[in-house]
Every structure is written in C-alpha cells, then in structure tokens.
Amino acid sequence: MKQEEIIGFIYEEAFLLDTMQWEKWLELYNQDARYWMPMEWNQTDPLMQQSLMYEDMLLLTIRVERLSGERTFSQKPKSRCHHVLQAPKILEINEENETCKTRTAFVYTETRGDILERFSGWASHDLILVNNNIKIDLKRIDLINFDSPFSNIQLFM
C-alpha cells in the first residue's frame, strides 16, 4: 500500500458517505470487518465494556438496507451528512502483512429536517490489502464528547 492510495481511500470513504452511496461504502469493508464507536476515552475492549456502536458486517448491512428502504418512515425526510477531514495520518504500514493503521481528525455534521448535530473526533482505520484492493478491517470512531447526551446517530461517521 502506498501512502497516496491510503489517503485517497480515506477521502473516498467520506465522499461515499456524504453522497449516500451506501452499497459502494459497504464494499470498502473486509468481510470480517467491525465498525466501533467506544463509549469511554482510551477504551480497549468493545465486548466487555459498553460501546456507542460495535457492528459487524451483518449489522452494517441491515443499517444500509434500512437507510436505503422506501418504507423507512423514520427517514422521512432522509438524514444527510457532511465530513470535514484533516489530512489522514498514517501511523503504521506493515508491508509483510499488507496492513496499515491510520488516524484522521474530523468534524461531522448530520442533519434531518430542521435538526442539525455536529460531532468532532478521530477516525482510526485498520486497513488490509485483499486481492490488491484496500479494505477496512476496523473503523473506530472516538468522539471528543463521547460522554455527552445526544440523540440517535442515524448515519455513519
């Protein structure tokens, strides 16, 4: 994996989310991938500690189907989102295992009707090369305000 490809991949993921291309976004994930949003600062265990989200591909697929469905009345009007990313920081590239770890600071806005919510934090990606394609093995979202009360997060950060 080359640095330019990795950075481009992370920006492309945000673009797919912002343009609601859910199926293409799911294709970025490895079949055993996880999407994790910890509930505590420096949380290390998603199974033995509470998390805001900890989803495998089955749960991600169900959420995408719900968001894409015409009979999803809770999404009328549909939620929309916008990501503003700092340049992704590559923390580690392991050429032998064809893996990479990154961290990207972001500001995320989600809106539905007249409700607008803004979140800030860091997105960490564990990436893996599968058949010469970069795939997400783990996406971790660490919110700055993880301990604040907020309404349901409808989309993906």
Q: 98: domain CATH number?
A: 3.10.450.50
CA distance 3 to 43: 28
**Domain, as residue range, for 96:** 3-143
Task: Tell me, yes or no, whether 156 lies in a domain.
Answer: no
CA distance 63 to 66: 5
CA distance 95 to 116: 42
Residue 104: per-residue pLDDT? 97
Is residue 30 within 8 Å of 135, Cβ to Cβ?
A: yes
Residue 76 binned pLDDT confidence (cut-offs 50, 70, 90)? low
93 pLDDT more than 70: yes
pTM over 0.85: yes
Residue 29 binned pLDDT confidence (cut-offs 50, 70, 90)? very high
Which phi and psi angles does 76 have, rounded to 5°?
-125, 105
Give the containing element (helix H, strand E) for 140: strand 133-143
Domain count, the chain: 1
CB atoms within 10 A of CB 31: 9
CA distance 26 to 64: 8
Task: Tell me, yes or no, whether 154 lies in a domain.
Answer: no
Task: Tell me, yes or no, whether 21 lies in a domain.
Answer: yes
Beta bridge partners of 116: 111
Start-end of H helices in the chain: 3-18, 22-26, 57-68
